Amino acid sequence: MTLPEPIGQAALAFFQKLLGPVGEAGEFLTDKIRFYRWQSSLRTLKRAREIALEHKLTINEVPLKFLIPFMEKSSLEEDSDELIERWAQLLAGASENKDNAKTIFIDVLSVLSSADVKTLEEFLPRSWYDTLEQKKIEYAEFLPAEYSEAEFLTTVAASNRDQLTRDAIDVAKNIIKSGQRGHSGFQYAESEFDKLVKTVAGGSEYESIAFNAEGLTNEDGDQSVYVTNPRVYRKLASYEVLIARGLIGRQAFHLLLQEANVNVVILSPTPLGYSFVRACRGPSG
């Protein structure tokens, strides 16, 4: 098989380093990977090599249990630069840190579209990771030494959900306290909850809020205020994929007040979603 120069030979040398001693078995490339898939793999390997050079990473041997399925599944990507970038970041990160060499990351990335990945990264922006690291410092003295990162993330997500539910209750109480009823009261409640649902609470956010109180009604006779998060509903198809793949969790809460009911649906990152995004952002993320 003839490889394009100079990219082909440099990428091949990079791949052989990742393989370790098995890298001498050139027949693996010829027999197991068809040419058109190898072309796609070349783009990923070339970019992973560039990332390693840019960040002065040592190219360490990657476990075959990770590397072989990585090559197989990454080679199926067509012309999506965004996805190839994520595959390359994942490989560069796995070479730097074996904790990132998890086959579940390969399985997840192989079934996501570029739109799904973009939606997840917007849900978990870099600023949120910075906030999380700060929380680790703040909570350090209160948490047991053996507390895992997954347990810590679960605790933070639960704390965020609690804050969102408290905020919804506070808005509901203020609406009730205002004493507004009828059409004007309905519009007021809709406006207040619409403002609330658009807030971002560091990694967790509302999907929707429903509110019902005696005496509220709009011109159509509806008695329940229902508002949705526009960020979520613009990309609902991607969110459904991310929830189905276990990257984002969805939880519903029914809050009973003396004069009203509030139903909130909250989205939070899962430990898998958190670690997957971090791994696919690689050393530059």
Burial class (CB in 10 A: 0-12, 13-18, 19+), 163: middle
Q: What CA–CA distance (Å, rounded) separates 62 from 105?
A: 14
- Residue that finishes a domain, picked among 52, 85, 110: 110
Give one DSSP letter per residue of 131-146, joined into a string.
HHHHHHHHHGGGS-TT
Q: Give the pLDDT confidence score for residue 1 in this predicted structure.
A: 45
In a domain, 123, yes or no: no
3 state SS of 42: helix
Structure tokens that stand for 26 in this block: 């050139």
The helix (run of H) or strand (run of E) holding residue 266 is strand 260-269
Q: Give the pLDDT confidence score for residue 252 in this predicted structure.
A: 96
pLDDT digits (tens, 9 = 90+) for 129-183: 777 778 777 777 777 777 777 888 888 888 889 999 999 999 999 999 988 888 8
Residues 91 and 161 in one domain: no
Predicted confidence (pLDDT) at residue 8 exceeds the cutoff of 80: no
Confidence band of 23 (pLDDT split at 50, 70, 90): low
- The pair phi, psi for residue 266, each rounded to 5°, is -120, 140
pLDDT digits (tens, 9 = 90+) for 80-132: 788 999 999 999 999 888 888 899 999 999 999 999 999 998 888 888 777 77
Stretch 261-282: mean pLDDT, rounded? 91
In a domain, 143, yes or no: no
Q: What CA–CA distance (Å, rounded) separates 145 from 164?
A: 29
Q: Domain limits at 169?
A: 149-273
Structural domain count, the chain: 2
Residues 102 and 195 in one domain: no
The helix (run of H) or strand (run of E) holding residue 34 is none
In a domain, 208, yes or no: yes
Residues 66 and 17 in one domain: yes
In a domain, 283, yes or no: no
Residues 155 and 267 in one domain: yes
Short-list 51, 33, 120, CA closest to 87: 51
Burial class (CB in 10 A: 0-12, 13-18, 19+), 225: buried
Q: Tokens 């993330």 map to which residue? A: 153
pLDDT digits (tens, 9 = 90+) for 201-253: 567 899 999 999 888 888 888 889 999 999 899 999 999 999 999 999 999 99
